[in-house]
Structure 1
Amino acid sequence: MSNWPQWRGPQRNGVAEGTKLPASWPAALPKPKWRVPLGIGYSSPVIADGVVFIQSRDTKVSQEVCHAIDDKTGKMLWTHAYLSTFAPPDPTAGKGPNSTPTVDRGQVYMLGLGGILHCFAARTGKIIWKHDLAKEFWGVEKEEIGDKWFPVCGATSSALAVGEEVILSVGGKKAGSLAAFDRATGKLLWKALDDRSSYASPVLGEVAGTQQLVAFTGKRMVGIHPKTHALLWEYPVTCLYEQTIVTPLLWRNRVLISHEAKPIVALELGAGGQKVAWQSAELSPYLSTPVIVKDHVIGLDARSRRIVCIDCENGKMIWSSPNRMGKNFASLVVAGESLLVLSDLGELYVIAADPSMFKLLKTYKVAEPGTIWSQLAIVENRLYIRDQTGLSCYAL
């Protein structure tokens, strides 16, 4: 059985594995196999062993709600609601929750906007452990806007499960910008760096022959040794309100990064540290993480609102879509020979996964404009689309 167990899929790279999507896309999408009404939030669906997990907010009673849904029927298997009164000072950021759950070996980890972290038994919803990050790790120092260590618009990073550790961007001197919790007990095992936490999610992979955690803090992109937790390299970033949002991409001996609609940068890692291999203002992501397709990076440019394809080797732009394909956000998923783009314009675009040319195969209307800021999920022949009123499962 295929799964989509975490943020951006099985390998956290926006690539769907083992899909069974149609060779010829239909003129119209079928009606949803099921649809579940949800409260607000930008948390994305994840799917593991026949269960869909997602988070939402019930604004009537100031609660965040964790949901487990039967993938076959759309029936709610369990929910857990808890009080959460945190509200970002910027109302355009949304009231959350915005973090995406992570499922690993029968446990699911869910982080709320105000810093409530739960570990549940995936099948039953029983709480195995929990943390209140705000009470335990933040509140040590204040700034003009909010907490010195807490991201202004709330906690949005999605947990990374590695062996017996659950790694998360927490922030500050008590828990570090990156922190690891014991998967069984929730005990804090280690912390790294004293920066403010990031809105982005960490990734684990081998770059330039070295296995490392690659992650944003509020002020820099870093590589952390997963065993010693030492800083391997760093690249400083400066942006308003420390808006480090885009998940880093790993390609060969390079890390591709972007922040606050700045030009995408390819950092080349080596024995001497890191250097800029190239940067391109043709692709400047803001909220949307690009994908890598056959040695090319493809993403939504925040200025032109077009989908842009860049050669990972030299930074040269190969093509851009003729029309805009998003206002502020689009999630991209590579599925076989197709590239699916779910846009906040309320449309799902199917594009040929061909770096040599732009070819739009189909366009489907799936929601009203401005209601989608969540990651598209794909398992086998099913598409999971979350808008601001609910979650729909389409079976193709």
Structure 2
Amino acid sequence: MRIFLFYILSFMLAPVFGQETSQFRGPLRDGAYPEKGLLKKWPATGPQLELQIAGIGKGYSQPIVYKDVIYVTGIKKDTMDVISAYDLKGNLLWDKVYGHAWANSFPDTRSTPTIQNDKIYLIGGMGTVCCLDAKNGDMLWSQDAHNQFKGEYHKWGVAESVLLTDQAAVYVTGGEVTSVVAYDKITGKLLWKTKSLGGPRAYASSSLIERNGLKIILAQTAYDLIAINSINGEILWNYNLKPLQTGDMGKGANTNTPIYRDGEIFVTSGYDHPATMFSLSEDGHSVSLKWKNETMDTHHGGFVLVDGNLYGTNWQSNSKGQWVSIDWKTGKTNWVKDWFNKGSVIEADGLLYCYEEKGGNIALVQPDVSEFKIISTFKVEVGEGAYWAHPAIYDGKLYLRHGNMLLIYNIKA
């Protein structure tokens, strides 16, 4: 009887596991990881370092774990982007070239793999969109999307990670031919392209939201926040962000994936651009500006929503920033705190993981509306370059990248 029940349950759960998706900043791309039973405090020297993998390639992309395999992208071979697969003991299973790296300043790989149904979706540094077999790295399809649609780069090229919908792999081109395109996830054939709203691409990865049954892609170019019908590519609305970007630097450098909750969309980027909250209409076909906040201009480290409050950083310069919390409903600033420098943040099991980008300091933080309440800290001492890769948490392990090095810590309670 137990064996019979096991097979019945396996059959019932197969479609669920078949749709398992591992992607940038967690299941909803909002920095929240569904892990439970994690340490509430770390030892003075930090959690136990379980594994260290060197030689993953130069890059700022986030590591991904899918079906007990670690996937990470980096520049390993001259100017080529490479994806590498490792087992949980750090043994290299395979590595494959998937595109040309960005050819100008900060060429290190930035696109994080999106993995679903044993297929890996990637964007090369020069705008190639491709799909590989997760088991062996074989190329299943590839499209030179940037050249095909005469895309337009922003200053630092491509940092986007592929967004998946029910049918499509979605990519922001920018330019005068189209703004966003969608390829069939299985065949790589073009499903649709939007009209062009003009202007270069941005750096932010898109997200998929749902409003009263309508599935909407939220994408960004250098000029606009765009809502797109995920089925046919119809632009439902666009909001021109340029008039809000009054600072002297970084115009059009839209960097962060928006967070959506209950009909409201939050988005911000660095360079003294204000944080903005938008209210989405019931039918999803229009949007209005609800509030602005001048404090939380997160550069590119993301932000998280916990118990009605946002946590992230601000931008004071490209090399300086503070940690910030604001109220989701009102936009009121809760606090601003100096702690080394700005960086990236994720959330799991009710706590924040803050990874500072200049010195590699990482803090376990209790979300609190009155203060930046640090519980424990330690420092990443190996690797080189900026600490720009976002942290990730899988199966009770904290994954931290620093350039060519991947560190994996056991944070199970």
- Give the alignment's TM-score, normalised by structure 2: 0.85
For the residue of structure 1 that corresponds to 2:279, the secondary structure is strand
By how many angstroms is 1:180 displaced? 0.9
1:141 aligns to what? none
Q: Which runs of 5+ in 1 are unaligned?
A: 139-147
Q: Distance in 2 between matches of 1:130 and 1:210?
A: 29
2:61 aligns to what? 43
2:390 matches 1:395: no
Is the Cα contact below 8 Å between 1:66 and 1:110 reproduced in 2? no
Is the Cα contact below 8 Å between 2:23 and 2:115 reproduced in 1? yes
Aligned to 2:294, which of 281, 288, 292? 281
2:205 matches 1:201: yes
2:269 matches 1:256: no
Aligned to 1:132, which of 132, 137, 144? 144
Q: Any residues of structure 2 matched to 1:88-107 within 5 Å, and which?
A: 88=104, 91=105, 94-107=106-119
Whichever residue aligns with residue 179 of structure 1, its letter is V
Whichever residue aligns with residue 396 of structure 2, its letter is N
2:85 matches 1:68: yes
Q: How has the CA–CA distance of structure 1 residues 85 and 280 changed in structure 2, closer, same or farther, with 3 Å as cutoff?
A: closer
2:263 matches 1:246: no
By how many angstroms is 1:245 displaced? 1.0
Is the Cα contact below 8 Å between 1:118 and 1:131 reproduced in 2? yes
By how many angstroms is 1:325 displaced? 4.1
Whichever residue aligns with residue 183 of structure 1, its letter is K
Aligned residues: 377
Q: Distance in 1 between matches of 2:381 and 2:185?
A: 37
Q: Distance in 1 between matches of 2:207 and 2:221?
A: 13
2:39 aligns to what? 22
> Between the two proteins, what is the percent identity of the paired residues?
26
By how many angstroms is 1:4 displaced? 7.3
Select between 343-352 and 300-309 the one with higher mean Cα deviation.
Answer: 300-309
2:95 aligns to what? 79
Is the Cα contact below 8 Å between 2:42 and 2:377 reproduced in 1? no
Q: Deviations over 1:98-153 (max 9, x none)?
A: 11110011100121111232211101111111122343222xxxxxxxxx623332
2:166 aligns to what? 163
Q: Distance in 2 between matches of 1:177 and 1:317?
A: 34
Q: Distance in 2 between matches of 1:395 and 1:43?
A: 21
Q: Distance in 1 between matches of 2:167 and 2:211?
A: 22
1:116 aligns to what? 128
Q: How has the CA–CA distance of structure 1 residues 193 and 54 changed in structure 2, closer, same or farther, with 3 Å as cutoff?
A: farther
Aligned to 2:215, which of 188, 211, 214? 211
Q: How has the CA–CA distance of structure 1 residues 83 and 259 changed in structure 2, closer, same or farther, with 3 Å as cutoff?
A: closer
Q: Which runs of 5+ in 2 are unaligned?
A: 1-16
2:355 aligns to what? 342
Is the Cα contact below 8 Å between 2:24 and 2:113 reproduced in 1? yes
By how many angstroms is 1:229 displaced? 2.4
Q: Deviations over 1:213-244 (max 9, x none)?
A: 11111211111122242222221122545211
Q: Distance in 1 between matches of 2:34 and 2:391?
A: 14
2:75 aligns to what? 57
2:8 aligns to what? none
Whichever residue aligns with residue 179 of structure 2, its letter is S
By how many angstroms is 1:86 displaced? 4.2
1:297 aligns to what? 310
Is the Cα contact below 8 Å between 2:101 and 2:125 reproduced in 1? no
Is the Cα contact below 8 Å between 1:38 and 1:391 reproduced in 2? yes
Is the Cα contact below 8 Å between 2:41 and 2:376 reproduced in 1? no
For the residue of structure 2 that corresponds to 1:31, the secondary structure is strand
- Give the alignment's TM-score, normalised by structure 1: 0.88
2:280 matches 1:269: yes
1:33 aligns to what? 51
Q: Distance in 2 between matches of 1:255 and 1:135?
A: 32
Q: How has the CA–CA distance of structure 1 residues 365 and 4 changed in structure 2, closer, same or farther, with 3 Å as cutoff?
A: farther
For the residue of structure 2 that corresponds to 1:242, the secondary structure is coil
Q: Any residues of structure 2 matched to 1:348-387 within 5 Å, and which?
A: 348-367=362-381, 371-387=386-402
For the residue of structure 1 that corresponds to 2:49, the secondary structure is coil
Q: Distance in 2 between matches of 1:81 and 1:229?
A: 30
Q: How has the CA–CA distance of structure 1 residues 298 and 333 changed in structure 2, closer, same or farther, with 3 Å as cutoff?
A: same
1:143 aligns to what? none
Q: Distance in 1 between matches of 2:303 and 2:204?
A: 13
Q: How has the CA–CA distance of structure 1 residues 301 and 230 changed in structure 2, closer, same or farther, with 3 Å as cutoff?
A: same
Is the Cα contact below 8 Å between 1:208 and 1:269 reproduced in 2? no
By how many angstroms is 1:77 displaced? 0.9
Whichever residue aligns with residue 172 of structure 1, its letter is G
For the residue of structure 2 that corresponds to 1:33, the secondary structure is strand
For the residue of structure 1 that corresponds to 2:174, the secondary structure is coil
